[in-house]
Amino acid sequence: MQTQINKVELRNLEFDDYKQLKNSMVESYPEMANSYWEADEIEKLLSIFPEGQLVILVDGKVVGSALSLILNEKLVDKKHNYKQIIGDYSFSTHNPNGEILYGIDVFIHPNYRGLRLGRRLYDARKELCEQLNLKAIVFAGRIPNYAQHSKKMTPKNYIDKVKHKELHDPVLSFQLSNDFHVLRIIKNYLEGDEESKEFAVLLEWNNVYYDESPKLINLEKSVIRLGLVQWQMRQLNNLEEFFEQSEFFIDVVSGYGSDFALFPELFIAPLMADYNHLSEANAIRELARYSDPIRKRFQEFAISYNINIITGSMPYLDNGNLYNVGFLCKRDGTSEMYTKIHITPNEVVHWGMKGGSQFKTFDTDCGKIGILICYDVEFPELPRLLADEGMNILFVPFLTDTQNGYTRVKHCSQARAIENECYVAIAGCVGNLPKVNNMDIQYAQAAVFTPSDFAFPSNGIKAEATPNTEMTLIVDVDLNLLKELHEHGSVHTLKDRRTDLYEIKKIDS
């Protein structure tokens, strides 16, 4: 390595670079005779895929390169060797409409190794893969140290030992450290590669931003705006007053461009004041009569204000059984119901409520979401199953009377965000309701919680409302940060689960 370097440059390969490219390649592969690209081959590569050919220059000298083709995924999946994958050096396999960026060569001049220049080439390849909306980067990596161990172990044993840091391979160790994972072993891949005994390891890096069917309109958004309503319990004379107050908040959060409006659990409780002369169980059953009209009106609000509304929750009668349910009213006019699964002792004793038996993720124009009502978030199995279905945002409408109850909801929600690598948004009711039995006091603080990694707040709290004050909380969350976290986070809580030892599964009802 030179004692002093003045400038390092990464750019696309140009044909005028050929002489320096050839010299660096010869120095890089001294063990393989005539292992350099011919001038006409480089000219052909540049004619069919110029953006896929990269070089690193140090003080104006080409010291490394990464060459690529775009291939059809089916071709990559087939058994192949090096000559086949590059069309016997004709590059006839290149398909501009393919899904895979296939690396056909990468090297760094030995005098310039140790400067992490290879990492720059790989980072540029990843960026190109994302820009071209390709599914993955794939290539067959040599294992040049394998010849030293081939008499006492199979290629599979060798790869396992390299993966577990028991052995070092200058190529494979580097690839694994750059987030590539092993797909399979290929025999007789590169003729004349005695160091690898002609074995190669097919490796892959997945593009987390790949869009299988890109659209010009109705694109799925990456930055989602959440509008959380911290609802003040107040006396309401009739259902129209309730709708008027609800529409006010929907108008507010919609005016700020929110994609979702989240209302709290049982925020329709003030309407129960007319039935306070009845037993608590009978009063809440009377309240259930409003559930269907509320769903219909909120569907209209969702359309007219162009916002997805999560209606908190309300009592719901079905075949004589009382449930705690809510509705996801989408801005396309459709709606879906969700049900509280775990019922608190208070709900059972005072109201005779029953828990639901079905839960799932919901598809929206902002990706997959989950909705769990209050107590449900204190059971980690439910959010984990929703995360396995692809949930990015978990919404938790809640109702807690004391700070103790709120603390349970808050800290469990924070834990769910971390362990499931998702956002969790919570919203509750505040204030007092003196003329409604079993609903007299409320404590709440709306919030949005995040995973805890470098791209997120260090305390895992994106935003919080003022406690016990009626207000809205408008928060942006970035789904791309979750994609990065899943693949490249400091820890991988979803991927690192020991499913060989334990599992959580949904029981079909």
Check residue 190 and give its pLDDT: 87
What architecture is domain 8-206?
A: 3-Layer(aba) Sandwich (3.40)
- Which residues participate in catalysis according to the annotation? 265, 340, 374
Task: Give pLDDT, residue 461.
Answer: 97
pLDDT of residue 211: 83
Say which range, 17-21, 254-258, 439-443, has the weakest mean pLDDT.
439-443
With CA atoms as reference, report the closest residue to 129 among 164, 147, 152, 102.
102
CA contacts within 13 A on the Cβ side of 446: 28
Burial 378-411 (b: 16+ CB within 10 A, else e): beeebbbbbbbeebbbbbbbbbbbeeebbebbbe
The CATH number of 223-488, from 3.10.20.30, 3.60.110.10, 1.10.10.10, 3.40.50.620, is 3.60.110.10
**Bridge-based pairing state of the strands 335-339 and 321-329:** antiparallel
Between 274 and 428, the more confident residue is: 428
pLDDT for position 444: 96
Tell me the DSSP string of 487-498. HHSS--TTTT--
Q: Is 70 helix (H, G, I), strand (E, B) or coil?
A: strand
Q: What is the pLDDT of residues 201-248, one digit of tens each?
A: 999 999 988 888 765 555 667 899 999 999 999 888 899 999 999 999
When pLDDT is averaged across residues 481-506 and rounded to a whole number, the result is: 91
Read off the DSSP letter of residue 195.
Answer: G
Q: Report how far residue 64's alpha carbon sits from residue 42's, in angstroms, rounded to the nearest whole number.
A: 14
pLDDT in the model for residue 214: 64
pLDDT at 261: 98
Cβ-based neighbour number of residue 190 at 10 Å: 17
Q: Over 60: is that where the pLDDT of 3 sits?
A: no
What is the arithmetic mean of pLDDT over 363-391?
96
pLDDT of 310: 98
pLDDT in tens, 457-467: 999 999 999 99
Q: What is the mean pLDDT of residues 296-306?
A: 93
Domain ranges of the chain: 8-206, 223-488
| φ, ψ at 436 (rounded to 5°) | -130, 115
For the beta carbon of residue 48, count every other beta carbon within 10 angstroms: 15
Main-chain phi, psi angles of 367, to 5 degrees: 95, -175
Per residue in 392-446, pLDDT (tens digit) is: 999 999 999 999 999 999 999 999 999 999 999 999 999 988 878 777 789 999 9
Identify the pLDDT of residue 282: 93
